Structure 1
């Protein structure tokens, strides 16, 4: 009897074991599928930016080389007062040595540096800035409201060679000070040791940009002005290099290097420097001069979109046709960027419709004939769009492609040599084009609604103001971003990739 019971129990146990075995196999199978899916998507994401992967096994650095980061730039340092310029060396030095009140990255995000808090008034015409009381210059001196204002006075005086004076003109009294009419800037008021009030002429995105100039201090017995950044000047060789050392009074750290060297490196010199492991970072063309980097086998090469080189279609918002939002929307969704590729140069990439141009998506389209036709259905008595064009071959080819696109919705593109036409193709370089867009908006029928929007944005969170402005431009179809220029960023595989990429891309 008992053996019979044991036999039944054994069968039940075996059946349960089989069920659990099947469950276990199913769980393992699902797990493997998830891992494979993750790897596929992870590699796909990497492939959008990482175009060549190097290996640290090919690196043979000395102990001294391991402690430093060497950045190669096309144009060697020309000025020890690097906070004055806007070339690559100056931008890198300002990022590492001379911190501003706020730092504006090329993706239009805003980072508080010397500011602990910024509160804008409801009308956007005033900003109260509370400084970080822990911030210190590289000699140990504290940063206070007086030293901040001194930087504004020094950089904006009549004889100053500071390259970005224009972004400060929105501050009250600044233009008269820059012209030498006044000895003070009336719109910068010192409230107490660590607080200042900035007053502005109008509510503009320039107001936040006016808080982004480098803050520095000149001291006796020092060859260079000092800053509050993670590094300080150690050596300057004209037309050759700048050497930076750690700021011992900076308590937060992004970079592990004891020293950073920024030096001019020509294409001819590059291979020799790479072979000697004297070049951790450099920018290279994607169509030439990249083989020296690949042959060394130890650099990762990323494809990066140049945030300061944007090609776009610009609407004349003062034009009777251009001020029609449905017309702008029709054109926005009618343009097939893939058709325009024939006019691109080898380094151009289709823009992802972000004004900041930093996203590396290569083929994100806004082409949608259904949306375009619905928008055009709301338009009355407009059959033709005037388009400013030059007489060169590429412009003619671009015109033909765009005209073909617009005819799909019933619009005709008419060539004209008048620059104030409804539509024109524009190339913007060296700086962000967003200031041009704001000026166009402020001179149009959008001005009143835009002012309400910008005031609200400053109130909600001034750190998002430029991102909000970017969204506003898209929502109002102020422009149609077309393409941007891509370049290769080579980074030695033995250094922290994320922090160094951020330094290079956002400086």
Structure 2
């Protein structure tokens, strides 16, 4: 009798486990990527074994040489990420990960960092050493270099003198041993962590290209037409699984014919006509991801905290997109910005933290403080700004709070931003300012330095999460939206690592 009961219990448990497993598989297979906007059917493109080992990416800005780190453009940036690794990876979502660095420890109040290097080799078999890391900084920052990250490197002591040619060495980078370096910074700055994101390269003798420690290396270059990457046989692991990655020139005017010829696995979509074309193909998934101009709400220097809290809680960025962006800007697409340190901030983003605010309670407190007065909204005197004014008036109107528009000449906006007792909050849209510039403009310099010093010495990986949380608590800036770009990927691409890499663009 006891054995029968035991068998029945085991059978019930087994069924429950199977049911849970079935549910999990069903749930996770149907969970969509947050950027996915259009889901195609499984690819109808026939691929032989050789084609299945290739991943073809179409783009309209193929570099003209293999020295991709000295060329501008999104495709050059993408190619370099397949070939070169850095001490630290800082993703578009501002997640920090140690790559070639085993350990980074800040001291001297955040102005000095000691870095321990991992054991690995470049694609030509040369071992990675501290000396090789310093050599990479010397190569990419030499006078006349067109490396795009040179300005970020200037926070290192002696870097600017070296870049200008007035010094033969970078005094702020010191080799301590075969696997250890010391970086000395001018001050405690936001740029300090970015310094470690520079690609570490190695000059191959008698070749124009440079080797890296990443999973691929440059195989061949047909100037501005095609660049082929092959696997780095020295790499310990290739998360992308393809033996070859081909970047093929696909300008808009010949996109249709190039699509038929190459059947690309992924293409950056550059115009509405391209978007429609890929939807017609039916075998591509289309992703919309952040790219470019940032929009945010800022406050007057003398603004009360109760106003900041209420604006943060009441503002509905999705409503702004739905009611204004999607209707009135058909040529430019936007999406909601999640954070202030990055539009697509992961982890503890501003938007995630703001969801916990009680809009009803905060708006009631603000109504009582206003006592019939209006919230003053500063914006340039033009048609689009008046649309935003109406949207904010409607959003706050739901909580019985009136918003008054203060319309000024667009050329005088900056002048009015620093005037006290003129306005409560303003909306800055389609700005070319980077998140770093926005933070530096809105934070007190000593306060920001103190915050960075503490977080860098405690856990430098948490720098952006800490900034996001501090910004949320202080309500200095509220992220609203960001320009959107599109990427088409064949529906049969199930490599998550490849998809993540593509959407870092």
* Superposition TM-score tier, normalisation by shorter sequence: 0.7 to 0.9
1:313 aligns with 2:297: yes
1:396 aligns with 2:386: yes
Tell me if structure 2 keeps the 8 A contact 1:138–1:227.
Answer: yes
Q: What residue is the counterpart of 2:422 in the other structure?
A: none
| Aligned-partner Cα distance in 2 for 1:45–1:62 | 28
| 1:62 to partner: Cα distance | 3.5
Tell me if structure 2 keeps the 8 A contact 1:383–1:412.
Answer: no
| 1:435 to partner: Cα distance | 0.9
Q: What residue is the counterpart of 1:329 in the other structure?
A: 309
CA deviation profile, 1:88-132 (whole Å, cap 9, x unmatched): 112112211121111111011112221111111161111101111
Q: What residue is the counterpart of 2:236 in the other structure?
A: 251
The residue correspondences of 1:30-69 to structure 2 (distance < 5 A) are: 39=26, 43=30, 45=32, 49=36, 51-56=38-43, 58-69=44-55
Tell me if structure 2 keeps the 8 A contact 1:170–1:202.
Answer: yes
Change in Cα spacing, 1:378 to 1:175, as seen in structure 2 (3 Å) is farther
Change in Cα spacing, 1:230 to 1:390, as seen in structure 2 (3 Å) is same
Secondary structure in 1 matching 2:121: coil
Q: What residue is the counterpart of 1:414 in the other structure?
A: 406
Q: What residue is the counterpart of 2:145 in the other structure?
A: 160
Q: What residue is the counterpart of 1:455 in the other structure?
A: 453
Choose the corresponding residue for 2:470, options 464, 469, 472. Answer: 472
1:214 aligns with 2:199: yes
Change in Cα spacing, 1:218 to 1:35, as seen in structure 2 (3 Å) is closer
The residue correspondences of 1:493-504 to structure 2 (distance < 5 A) are: 493-504=491-502
Residue range with higher mean Cα deviation, 332-341 or 197-206: 332-341
CA deviation profile, 1:122-158 (whole Å, cap 9, x unmatched): 61111101111x2211111112222222222222233
1:484 aligns with 2:476: no
| Aligned-partner Cα distance in 1 for 2:21–2:493 | 30
Secondary structure in 2 matching 1:70: strand
| Aligned-partner Cα distance in 1 for 2:175–2:16 | 67
| 1:474 to partner: Cα distance | 2.2
Change in Cα spacing, 1:477 to 1:236, as seen in structure 2 (3 Å) is same
| Aligned-partner Cα distance in 2 for 1:380–1:400 | 20
| Aligned-partner Cα distance in 2 for 1:29–1:135 | 46
The residue correspondences of 1:55-454 to structure 2 (distance < 5 A) are: 55-56=42-43, 58-121=44-107, 123-132=109-118, 134-284=119-269, 287-299=272-284, 301-315=285-299, 319-321=301-303, 324-337=304-317, 339-340=319-320, 341-344=322-325, 345-346=329-330, 347-353=333-339, 355-358=341-344, 369-373=359-363, 376=366, 387-406=377-396, 408-409=400-401, 412-417=404-409, 418-420=413-415, 421=417, 423-428=426-431, 433-442=434-443, 444=444, 447-454=445-452
Q: What residue is the counterpart of 1:6 in the other structure?
A: none
Tell me if structure 2 keeps the 8 A contact 1:314–1:425.
Answer: yes
| Aligned-partner Cα distance in 2 for 1:427–1:394 | 11
Residue range with higher mean Cα deviation, 151-160 or 93-102: 151-160
Structure 2-normalised TM-score? 0.82
| Aligned-partner Cα distance in 2 for 1:194–1:472 | 35
Secondary structure in 2 matching 1:254: coil
The residue correspondences of 1:8-47 to structure 2 (distance < 5 A) are: 39=26, 43=30, 45=32
| Aligned-partner Cα distance in 1 for 2:47–2:13 | 49
Change in Cα spacing, 1:84 to 1:383, as seen in structure 2 (3 Å) is farther
| Aligned-partner Cα distance in 2 for 1:47–1:183 | 48
Q: Number of aligned residue pairs: give it.
A: 477
Q: What are the ranges of 5 or more consecutive residues in structure 2 without an aligned counterpart?
A: 418-424
Residue range with higher mean Cα deviation, 265-274 or 231-240: 265-274
| Aligned-partner Cα distance in 1 for 2:168–2:49 | 52
| 1:191 to partner: Cα distance | 0.8
Tell me if structure 2 keeps the 8 A contact 1:240–1:263.
Answer: yes
| 1:332 to partner: Cα distance | 1.7
Change in Cα spacing, 1:378 to 1:241, as seen in structure 2 (3 Å) is farther
| Aligned-partner Cα distance in 2 for 1:416–1:73 | 42
CA deviation profile, 1:272-308 (whole Å, cap 9, x unmatched): 3333453111123695423433444433x14232154
Tell me if structure 2 keeps the 8 A contact 1:106–1:307.
Answer: no
The alignment's C-alpha RMSD in Å is: 3.6
| 1:33 to partner: Cα distance | 10
Change in Cα spacing, 1:162 to 1:375, as seen in structure 2 (3 Å) is farther
Secondary structure in 2 matching 1:157: coil
Change in Cα spacing, 1:33 to 1:439, as seen in structure 2 (3 Å) is closer
